[in-house]
Structure 1
């Protein structure tokens, strides 16, 4: 569906057009005006209608409908097509939900197609209209900057959330009363991998925009894209460090599990050895032979009990000293 549609002249919103074709002709006629159309999870029929009005490339339209694309920047004859992954981090279950924003930029127009719940663009448009009109003066490229800037800022917030989860995970792995954290580590590692798939491929498009290698993008927007590119590089460095750190935490957790298993095995072995002494003695004297030594002694029974207790106590003390108990 169409979320919002407006004409912008010299950085200010002027009207909501009724007809896309007429609005586009009016924008192109003046030169300082462009059309910004926002769509949210449009049907193929709705997007085809917009594509016909704005003469968008069919391959780009197909990618925008499917919404399972890798972040990329593609140049067509009459338009520029960009795909950016959106992310929403659910801290309660350590899950990362992904969405997508596809952007079409052309002569006098900018179209955003959003899929998923993450990064709604209404606040982005409102911020540009109220606080960054000077940026809007640069035309359709300013929309691309504003969307990418908002999404990369969200990446930074997710980095902070994951850092906190990693600190909690490290504390849990090395806690005195610890349990196996392998499942939790694996789940977080999978979400970090999903984060990496969203952020790393975006580096190349942002670098191209920052360096001015993309035709049709106003030169005045280069400093803005450089700022986004710097933020994105810090995010990617953090995500890659998360991946390595989670690998180290997983190895440490496996080592801890192995150590605990060895400790448990030693404790079991020690108690088996202690219990074996009275079991052996009682077994010998329970064989019911008539001619056995000490059977007729008056104090034989308490002496045997005392012997078993003494040996068991000595074994217990020895295992305690050696760290087995």
Structure 2
């Protein structure tokens, strides 16, 4: 069989499955199905049931053969992983034994020029993981200079965000910025890089991709949803690829694993009991062999935790950063 789902080997895949500890008869959520690597590994344990979620229709379609081979143990759902609690309920899963998520853009998406994720491949400036909503070109055309600067600074951690935003606004007055090459050339004129450093457009492209797909909001929501669906003893495994994602996962698990107790100088404040026990005191990272075989793995970090018997905590408010809806309506 030649499907992408059969070929795909996820970053830190072995370590992720070891942390997940699939057991016979368990129900698992592959929250970012992608090429199906995690799902395929989980299904190797007899009697497991997997619900695979992906907002990318092409990933779902590529996984149909794996569905057929699973004998009814794999169900694929085209949706955002922030909706995993509702998806579990719709599939009759009241409590899951494990949730695994590989956050961010997939190698398959990066390698498809027509998806517009990579400045190294000429293509339309799209960047959508799904097939609806505004494209990166739409954001570039609509956002104010101030919004562009904020987006590029917050989600790309680009120090030259104001200069990049000015250059984009100036260029779009001359002609629409509709391709990856056009945007990369604009950024390269104001962000300089030395030989051996990352491409000048790397952080700007990262920022737009995260913003267009609302990736960080999705991650916040997905972590809270996983907390609600996991049964006591169930495990959450998250692999992230840059500091923004890893910080969200780390802070979520630290907050959810805190024991109660207030300051001796202040009145006791009621605090929710820990809902997770952290399994990775330090993040698991790829070894030299994996990074040599797959250079994209070099920044990956895996964090894992086990669900306690305590009730799920109340979900925190999302950070007050620019939103896609506000920017597109000029708010």
Task: Please report the TM-score for the alignment, with normalisation by the length of structure 2.
Answer: 0.30
Structure ranking higher on relative contact order (CA contacts 8 Å, 6+ apart): 2
**Which protein shows a greater Rg?**
1
